[in-house]
């Protein structure tokens, strides 16, 4: 869509919402935010800024979401698919043992962050609203520095007093009429005993800020389950990768050819004996960003086409892997699936459906389909989804999502009627490809929301700050970053290997 088409559509939608608005059954005052990652943090602050009462629930002992590093590893998602998930002896009053601690890792799994991870997105695009990075912040940061930034954000705005840590939201249930019930659970170690506290709380509205990197996505491959049963120690998902040491002098097959596979190929370089990489389609893609990442894959990487089956040419499951070109390898020690994640808002399990149903959260692999503006659940827009869009996005986009839900719930902007929300959602055309991570694409995705909210501010006579589009300086930063990405990528790897600080790449 062109810029003018986007603006015209957003203005029409805003006017429609003012003329025929959705009417909430009661004022929204008490809100639950599920997740204290960056999206949950910015949602919490933005809602608090509108004078709303917010309580944020985080199942881990600290904030940060996917940026909270742990050296713990959860169960293999592939073996779990075959029914080899460990039993969890988690009962109140159980003596604290290593087995209990291991079981807790399954209940509260660690993030996918690995020890040597550095950002591949420049820091200005990861900035939370109202909280600029310190001057002289490098363009690329270790996960430790990113987590420190989010911790400083929470400290600056006093968010900790609104966050309940070590608290898991087990289930979210829609109440008759209006409102939501949350079933909550907290696991604590008291002396040498596991204490489990369970209770319920009710809220006017709920924000799902649980992120999009929770449930590993494993493609269907012929003989994979049988292969995994025979060789369970060989197969893992990138979410389980924590450090390179176990792969020293081993042969590794990376399944996938996008960002995580490209990054792991560099970390394995010089450590592993051989690195194979299997992916579908051509090496060069339409996405310039993905091509940039592929340009940094070490020359020693052995490229293979998509996997045909996890057996030899005769169908024998003996450790061999056959590819779609008919070639076979039989010397692989480890297989790492770099195949992404599926969106899975687990607390909403009783409401979720993979097919369209009235009064159900209809979702695809990546996002909720019956959510207006990718945020508000159409059957009841007191349920919102932030941070899991169907496209590549920066923190700037999530800042805008949080601003949108805060203005609507604080009655500073209006939603169209339910019928109109459904119509607009059914007919909406993406402004650009989901894989488009260029400056233009990111700007296009934000434009509709910005125009929509600014129009409401004008039409309804409010004095909210006018929202601005991303400045052109972001485009220059991205262009500069693209020109030096290969060099910067190699410098980061060198710094990791030498365990030294990154060279100064100033903003």
pLDDT at 186: 96
Alpha-carbon span 349 to 274, nearest angstrom: 42
For residues 377 and 384, the answer to whether their CB atoms sit within 8 Å is: yes
SS3 452: helix
Alpha-carbon span 403 to 401, nearest angstrom: 5
For residues 398 and 41, the answer to whether their CB atoms sit within 8 Å is: no
Asked whether residue 76 carries a pLDDT value surpassing 80, the answer given is: no
| Per-residue pLDDT reduced to its tens digit, 227-267 | 999 999 999 999 999 999 999 999 999 999 999 999 999 99
SS3 22: coil
- pLDDT-above-70 percentage for the chain: 95
pLDDT at 285: 84
The more confident residue out of 216 and 317 is 317
The more confident residue out of 193 and 286 is 193
pLDDT at 205: 98
pLDDT at 507: 33
Alpha-carbon span 300 to 321, nearest angstrom: 20
Confidence of residue 81 (pLDDT cuts 50, 70, 90): low
SS3 55: strand
| Per-residue pLDDT reduced to its tens digit, 444-473 | 889 999 999 999 999 999 999 999 998 888
DSSP run (H or E) holding 32: strand 30-34
Span 33-48, average pLDDT: 97
Alpha-carbon span 323 to 310, nearest angstrom: 9
Q: For 218-275, where are the alpha helices, taking DSSP H only?
A: 224-230, 259-268
Confidence of residue 79 (pLDDT cuts 50, 70, 90): low
> Read out DSSP for 159-202?
GGGGEETTEEEEEEEEPSSS-EEEEEEEEEEETTEEEEEEEEEE
Question: Tell me: domain 3-70+111-214+343-475, CATH 3.50.50.60, correct?
Answer: yes
- DSSP class of 416: B
Alpha-carbon span 119 to 259, nearest angstrom: 11
Alpha-carbon span 322 to 31, nearest angstrom: 52
Asked whether residue 298 carries a pLDDT value surpassing 60, the answer given is: yes
Q: CATH 3.50.50.60 spans which residues of the chain?
A: 3-70+111-214+343-475, 218-339
pLDDT at 502: 45
Stated length of the chain: 507
Asked whether residue 405 carries a pLDDT value surpassing 60, the answer given is: yes
Q: How do 215-216 and 361-362 pair as beta strands?
A: unpaired
Token pair listed for 299 = 């020359």
| Per-residue pLDDT reduced to its tens digit, 328-338 | 999 999 999 99
Torsion of CA 369, 374, 377, 382, to 10 degrees: 170
| Per-residue pLDDT reduced to its tens digit, 259-280 | 999 999 999 998 999 999 999 9
| Per-residue pLDDT reduced to its tens digit, 413-430 | 999 999 999 999 999 887
Token pair listed for 105 = 């890792």
Query: Cβ neighbours of residue 271 under 8 Å, at least 6 residues apart?
Result: 244, 245, 247, 248, 249
Degrees (nearest 5) of the Cα angle 341, 346, 351? 120
Alpha-carbon span 73 to 499, nearest angstrom: 23
CA distances from 44 to 28, 132, 140, 294, 468 (A): 14, 18, 26, 37, 21
Q: Which CATH architecture has domain 218-339?
A: 3-Layer(bba) Sandwich (3.50)
In the beta sheet, which residues pair with residue 53? 30
3-state secondary structure 276-321: EEECCCCCCCCCHHHHHHHCCCCCCCEEECCEEECCCCCCCCCCCE
pLDDT at 89: 66
Q: For residue 497, report the phi and psi dihedrals to the nearest 5 degrees.
A: -65, -35
Confidence of residue 478 (pLDDT cuts 50, 70, 90): confident
Q: Which among 49, 58, 361 is positioned nearest to 180, based on CA atoms?
A: 361
The more confident residue out of 240 and 87 is 240
pLDDT at 84: 41
Q: How far is CA 385 from the centre of its chain?
A: 12
Confidence of residue 503 (pLDDT cuts 50, 70, 90): very low
pLDDT at 65: 94
CA distances from 377 to 208, 357, 360, 371 (A): 11, 13, 9, 4
Query: Cβ neighbours of residue 461 under 8 Å, at least 6 residues apart?
Result: none
Ranges 14-18, 189-193, 373-377, 442-446: which has the least confidence: 442-446
Q: Which among 345, 30, 40, 356 is positioned nearest to 178, based on CA atoms?
A: 30
| Per-residue pLDDT reduced to its tens digit, 125-141 | 999 999 999 999 999 99
């Amino acid at each position: 869509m062109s810029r003018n088409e986007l603006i015209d559509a957003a203005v029409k939608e805003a006017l429609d919402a003012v003329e025929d608005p959705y009417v909430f059954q009661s004022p929204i005052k008490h809100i639950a935010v599920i997740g204290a990652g960056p999206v949950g943090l910015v949602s919490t602050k933005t809602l608090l800024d509108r004078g709303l009462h917010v309580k944020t629930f985080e199942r881990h002992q600290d904030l940060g979401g996917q940026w909270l590093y742990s050296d713990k590893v959860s169960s293999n998602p592939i073996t779990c698919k075959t029914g080899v998930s460990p039993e969890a002896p988690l009962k109140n009053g159980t003596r604290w043992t290593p087995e209990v601690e291991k079981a807790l890792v399954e209940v509260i799994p660690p993030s996918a962050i690995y020890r040597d991870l550095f950002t591949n997105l420049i820091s200005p695009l990861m900035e939370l609203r109202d909280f600029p990075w310190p001057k002289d912040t490098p363009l690329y940061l270790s996960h430790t520095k990113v987590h420190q930034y989010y911790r400083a954000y929470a400290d600056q705005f006093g968010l900790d007093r609104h966050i309940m840590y070590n608290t898991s939201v087990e289930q979210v249930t829609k109440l008759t009429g209006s409102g939501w019930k949350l079933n909550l659970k907290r696991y604590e170690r008291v002396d040498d005993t596991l204490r489990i506290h369970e209770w319920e709380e009710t809220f006017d509205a709920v924000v799902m800020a649980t992120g999009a990197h929770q449930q590993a996505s494993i493609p269907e491959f012929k003989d994979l389950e049988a292969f995994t049963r025979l060789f369970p120690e060989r197969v893992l998902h990138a979410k389980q990768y924590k450090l390179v040491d176990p792969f020293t002098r081993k042969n590794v097959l990376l399944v996938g050819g996008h960002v995580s596979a490209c990054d792991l190929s560099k970390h394995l370089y010089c450590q592993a004996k051989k690195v194979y990489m299997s992916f579908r389609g051509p090496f060069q893609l339409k996405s310039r960003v993905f091509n940039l990442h592929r340009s940094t894959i070490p020359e020693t990487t052995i490229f293979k086409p998509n996997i045909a089956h996890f057996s030899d040419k005769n169908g024998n499951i003996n450790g061999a892997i056959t590819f779609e070109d008919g070639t076979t390898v039989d010397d692989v020690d480890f297989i790492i699936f770099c195949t992404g994640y599926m969106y899975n808002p687990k607390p909403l399990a009783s409401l979720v459906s993979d097919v369209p149903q009235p009064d159900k959260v209809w979702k695809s692999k990546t996002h909720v389909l019956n959510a207006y503006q990718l945020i508000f659940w159409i059957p009841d827009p007191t349920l919102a989804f932030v941070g899991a869009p169907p496209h590549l996005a920066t923190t700037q986009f999530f800042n805008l999502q949080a601003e949108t839900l805060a203005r609507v719930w604080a009655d500073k902007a209006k939603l169209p009627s339910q019928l109109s929300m459904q119509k607009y959602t059914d007919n909406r055309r993406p402004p650009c490809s989901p894989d488009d991570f260029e400056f233009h694409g990111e700007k296009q995705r934000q434009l509709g929301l910005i125009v929509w909210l600014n129009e409401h501010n004008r039409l309804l006579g409010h004095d909210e700050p006018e929202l601005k589009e991303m400045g052109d300086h972001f485009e220059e930063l991205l262009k500069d970053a693209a020109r030096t990405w290969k060099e910067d990528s190699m410098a980061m790897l060198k710094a990791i290997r030498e365990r030294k600080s990154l060279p100064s790449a100033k903003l």
